[in-house]
Amino acid sequence: MRKEAVVADNLTKVFITKERKGLFKRSSKKKIVAVDHVSFEVRRGEIFGLLGPNGAGKTTTIKILSTLLLPDEGEAWVNGYHVVKEADRVRATIGVSLYSDRGFYWKLTGRENLRYFAYLHHIPPREAERKINELLELVGLKEHADKLVEEYSTGMKSKLNFARALLNDPETLFLDEPTIGLDPASARTIREVIKRLSREDKTIFLTTHNMEEAYFLCDRIAIINRGKIVAIGTPRELKEKIRDKNIVEIEAVNLTDSVVEKIKGLEGVEYVSVTLSDPASFKGTMRVTFNGTFDECLPDLLKVLVESNVRLLYVKPSEPSLEDVFIALTGVSFYEEHTKGSEK
């Protein structure tokens, strides 16, 4: 039996969209490569994260692996079964939670929804009841189980979605943004459940754009951007990729675009990313990645900041983050790509 739970080999998916300019003008076709020759392997029992901004190809990848989407090129196997030729066997051994506010029957209760899907998975009624009670307890929905789904909040629907993915006791779980829309306590519960499931030798394949979540939850992470995998490894291995770089974190006021451009032009500076907490006063946090030592680069950096009337709040060396890894590998900020992907 293969060690790998999921194998993707050169997966490619191209969508054709139409650009319509007006009521009576001809529309032009545009090709969008959502997944571009993606290859990776996921070991049994590990928590594998697919990290990327919006529009990177995460959901498309999950849909191919869960048989909802047919790839244009390449192949994939899940739990040893081919996702196209043996799709029914794949479906019998996976659980999927897709990100969506919909996906349930509003006029059925949470319990009734689970019961329905349990039967569709061919789980006999008695076993289904036992399983449903267990899962409702697990996700913290027991007291709301007999309310109609139309009365559920977004967070409750997310939990019910997660419970549904576990109904058929799958070997591999595909979770698309599992904690989105959840309050911190509920998100923590779900993460703990994910960890527990992994200890029970279930393979978890999750997508997220939350870097902290990916870092703390996943055994290995694949960073994806514009349909391509740019790096795969454990969080530590990914950070090692920019081991030779130094990063300084600066919190200041008046971090205008011209200041950032000046810093980018300094010798030794490779990347600069800015996150503004108060756009009106240009107050925020700047992370500067440079390939020299602190002694070599810091004086020039501070000189530029002082001459530009930047009010410094703190300056400190920093450990590389996944955001820094992303910038190093793609040349652009994760959050810029995330915004562009949302606009797409």
Partner 1 sequence: MPVRQEISLSTKIREIALELYAAAYNGIRTYFRYPMWIISDLITSPLWLLLFIIPMLLFLPPEKWSDPTTYQYFYWGMIFLDVISMALWSFGSAIRWEQQTGTLEYLYLTNASRLVLFATRMCSRLISFTMSALYLALLMTVMFGAQIKVADPLLLLLSLFLSLFTALGFGAIYAALVLKLKQVGPLNNILQFVLIGVSGIFFPVDRLPLELKVLAYLSPFTYCVDLVRAAAMKTTTIMPLWHELALIVLLAVLMNFIGIKILGYIEATVKKTGKLGVY
Partner 2 sequence: MRNILRALRNNLLVVYAVYVKEMKIWLRYPSWIFVFITLPYTLTGLFYGVGYAIAGGKAFDNFAQNTGVRDPLLYYLLGSMILLVAMIIMEDMGASIRSEQMRGTFELHYLSPANKLLLWTSYVLPHGTISFIVMAIALTPPLLWEAKSLDILSALWTIVLLLIGMLPLYGIGLITASLTIRFKEPWSIVNIIKAFISVCSGFLYPLTILPEWLQVVSKTIPTSYLIDLLRDVLLFNKKIMLEDFRLSALILTSLFYLALGFGVYLRWENYARKTGDLSKY
Which of residues 80 and 233 has its CB atom nearest to partner 1 in the complex?
A: 80
Choose, by CB under 8 A, the member of 22, 124, 265, 279 that binds partner 1. Answer: 124
Quick check: 131 binds partner 1 (CB under 8 A)? Answer: no
Quick check: 69 binds partner 1 (CB under 8 A)? Answer: yes
Strands 4-19 and 28-43 turn out to be antiparallel
Quick check: 120 binds partner 1 (CB under 8 A)? Answer: yes
Which of residues 150 and 240 has its CB atom nearest to partner 2 in the complex?
A: 150
We find the least distance from the C-beta atom of residue 103 to partner 2, in angstroms, to be 13
The 10 Å Cβ neighbour count of residue 180 is: 15
φ/ψ of residue 32, rounded to 5? -120, 120
Which of residues 2 and 20 has its CB atom nearest to partner 2 in the complex?
A: 20
We find the least distance from the C-beta atom of residue 46 to partner 2, in angstroms, to be 36
The arrangement of strands across the sheet holding 283-290 comes to 269-278, 283-290, 246-253, 311-318
Q: Select the binding partner of residue 230 from partner 2, partner 1, none (C-beta < 5 to 8 A, by kind).
A: none
Choose, by CB under 8 A, the member of 3, 21, 107, 316 that binds partner 1. Answer: 107
Quick check: 180 binds partner 1 (CB under 8 A)? Answer: no
Quick check: 160 binds partner 1 (CB under 8 A)? Answer: no
Q: Select the binding partner of residue 68 from partner 2, partner 1, none (C-beta < 5 to 8 A, by kind).
A: partner 1
Q: Select the binding partner of residue 23 from partner 2, partner 1, none (C-beta < 5 to 8 A, by kind).
A: partner 2
Candidate segments 62-70, 133-141, 224-232, 289-297, binder of partner 1 by CB under 8 A: 62-70
The 10 Å Cβ neighbour count of residue 89 is: 16
Query: CA-to-CA distance for 227 and 221, rounded, in angstroms?
Result: 15
Q: How many residues bind partner 1 (CB under 8 A)?
A: 44
Quick check: 202 binds partner 1 (CB under 8 A)? Answer: no
The arrangement of strands across the sheet holding 203-208 comes to 94-97, 172-176, 203-208, 47-51, 220-225, 228-233
Which of residues 141 and 221 has its CB atom nearest to partner 1 in the complex?
A: 141
Q: Select the binding partner of residue 289 from partner 1, partner 2, none (C-beta < 5 to 8 A, by kind).
A: none
Rule CB under 8 A: which residues touch partner 2? 20, 23, 101, 150
Quick check: 80 binds partner 1 (CB under 8 A)? Answer: yes
We find the least distance from the C-beta atom of residue 258 to partner 2, in angstroms, to be 36
Choose, by CB under 8 A, the member of 6, 48, 67, 259 that binds partner 1. Answer: 67
We find the least distance from the C-beta atom of residue 147 to partner 2, in angstroms, to be 14
Q: Rule CB under 8 A: which residues touch partner 1?
A: 1-2, 13, 15-16, 34, 60, 63, 66-70, 72, 79-81, 88-89, 91-92, 94, 96, 98, 100-108, 112, 115-117, 119-122, 124, 148, 164
